[in-house]
């Protein structure tokens, strides 16, 4: 998708906030524990390469991504150090991962055997054993099968290096820790079943690192906290250090018009002005990630809350203004304007989702502008 540089819509990312959040997380680590920054999904919408560089500079020793292509993009950008792909990689692509020193997960023995057939180079493939302790996503569920995988790799040292073992928690961001504790116990059984402990033993996502001391791991996969977002939303308000939101989203009016009572706005004529009103047009729509369900949400103009009226279009949406404003007047979708502020959490609450989704939905068409 083309980046739309010649319109006022942009996502502004504060470098200092990202550095603060990572450095604060690193300062909480126990001796011998490393932090890997999770920069998948274009760094949760904040920009893959730029954020990866910032997190490494702030103390992250490694990086996590979701798909192999994200890892390859980091390597092309000259980023060194450990990179772990968290999602299953096609067995036919494992030689590419090995050649670029990219670690991948193994979740079942059939995948491991298929991968072995495709490893023909001089570098062994770094592998992390994925265990399913209650997430129901990927990973071994049987200790005997896990042991078979470890034995298979031990017999193929030219092809595989067992670098780690991990799991993922389903409820680390919730007050009730019953499921969390059950997953911890199950994971410890998996680790104990291995003939020796791998270099990396990791269970902690951002929520775990904030609120739990879990499973004797030595690596934290720090994700949404990088971006200054509370992984629990509003469920657990307290965090051991302040999280600084890194992103604001801004645009500007491209038109302001006075309309009489009875004027319809946008597709379906779902909005009809009740009286004489000023309607402003903002150049951002669902193709940019400002989803259609945002009709009725508010944005900030000159410190005023202005509702989105009518359906959000693909490339534009309309707002009701308190009075006329000139073309070019700033519109704040996420961030502070005057004495008021709209957060990603506020947007998520309105949309009935989580702030992760709002940030990740920002399309490539929206320029990312890095400041301070």
Q: Helix crossing, 178-193 with 143-154: angle to 10°? A: 40
Give the architecture (CATH level 2) of 247-371. Beta Barrel (2.40)
pLDDT tens for the chain, 372 residues: list them. 899 999 999 999 999 999 999 999 999 999 999 999 999 999 999 999 999 999 999 999 999 999 999 999 999 999 999 999 999 999 999 999 999 999 999 999 999 999 999 999 899 999 999 999 999 999 999 999 999 999 999 999 999 999 999 999 999 999 999 999 999 999 999 999 999 999 999 999 999 999 998 677 999 999 999 999 999 999 999 999 999 999 999 999 999 999 999 999 999 999 999 999 999 999 999 999 999 999 999 999 999 999 999 999 999 999 999 999 999 999 999 999 999 999 999 999 999 999 999 999 999 999 999 999
pLDDT at 216: 76
Phi, psi (5° rounding) for residue 213? -120, 100
pLDDT at 213: 80
Catalytic residue list contains 227? no
pLDDT per position as a tens digit, 340-366: 999 999 999 999 999 999 999 999 999
Q: Could you tell me the residue ranges of all domains in the chain?
A: 32-227, 247-371
Which candidate, 175, 178, 173, 289, places its Cα nearest to that of 223? 173
pLDDT at 214: 65
The CATH number of the domain covering residues in 32-227? 3.20.20.10
Catalytic residue among 10, 40, 53, 159: 40
pLDDT at 15: 98
Catalytic residue list contains 271? no
Catalytic residue among 30, 181, 257, 267: 267
Q: Which residues are annotated as a binding site for substrate?
A: 137, 314
The number of CA neighbours under 13 Å toward the Cβ of 324 is: 5
Burial 335-350 (b: 16+ CB within 10 A, else e): bebeeeebbbbebbeb
Rounded to two decimals, the pTM is 0.95
């Amino acid at each position: 998708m083309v980046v739309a540089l010649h319109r006022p819509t942009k996502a502004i990312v504060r470098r200092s906030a990202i550095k603060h959040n990572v450095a604060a997380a690193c300062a909480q680590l126990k001796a011998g524990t490393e932090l890997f920054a999770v920069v998948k999904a274009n760094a949760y919408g904040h920009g893959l390469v730029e954020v990866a560089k910032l997190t490494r500079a702030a103390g992250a020793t490694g990086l996590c991504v979701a798909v192999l292509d994200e890892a390859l993009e980091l390597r092309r950008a000259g980023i060194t150090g450990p990179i772990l792909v968290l999602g299953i990689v096609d067995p036919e692509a494992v030689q590419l991962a090995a050649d670029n020193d990219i670690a991948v997960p193994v979740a079942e023995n059939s995948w491991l055997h298929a991968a072995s057939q495709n490893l023909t180079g001089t570098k062994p493939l770094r592998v992390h054993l994925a265990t399913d302790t209650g997430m129901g996503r990927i990973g071994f569920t049987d200790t005997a099968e896990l042991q078979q995988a470890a034995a298979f790799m031990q017999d193929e040292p030219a092809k595989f290096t067992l670098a780690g073992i991990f799991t993922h928690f389903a409820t680390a961001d919730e007050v009730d820790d019953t499921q969390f504790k059950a997953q911890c116990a199950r994971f410890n059984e998996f680790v104990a079943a291995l003939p020796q402990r791998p270099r990396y033993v990791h269970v902690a996502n951002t929520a775990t690192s904030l609120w739990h001391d879990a499973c004797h791991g030595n690596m934290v996969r720090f994700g949404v906290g990088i971006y200054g977002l509370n992984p629990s939303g509003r469920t657990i308000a307290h965090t051991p250090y302040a999280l600084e939101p890194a992103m604001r989203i801004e645009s500007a009016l491209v038109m302001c018009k006075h309309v009489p009572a009875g004027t319809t706005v946008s597709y379906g004529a779902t909005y009809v002005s009740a009286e004489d009103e000023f309607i402003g047009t903002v150049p951002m729509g669902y193709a940019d990630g400002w989803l259609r369900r945002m009709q009725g949400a508010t944005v900030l103009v000159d410190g005023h809350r202005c509702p989105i009226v009518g359906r959000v279009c693909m490339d534009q949406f309309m707002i009701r203004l308190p009075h006329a404003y000139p073309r070019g007047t700033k519109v704040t979708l996420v961030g502070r304007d005057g004495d008021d502020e709209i957060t990603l959490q506020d947007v998520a609450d309105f949309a009935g989702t989580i702030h992760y989704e709002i940030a990740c939905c920002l399309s490539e068409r929206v320029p990312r502008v890095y400041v301070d």
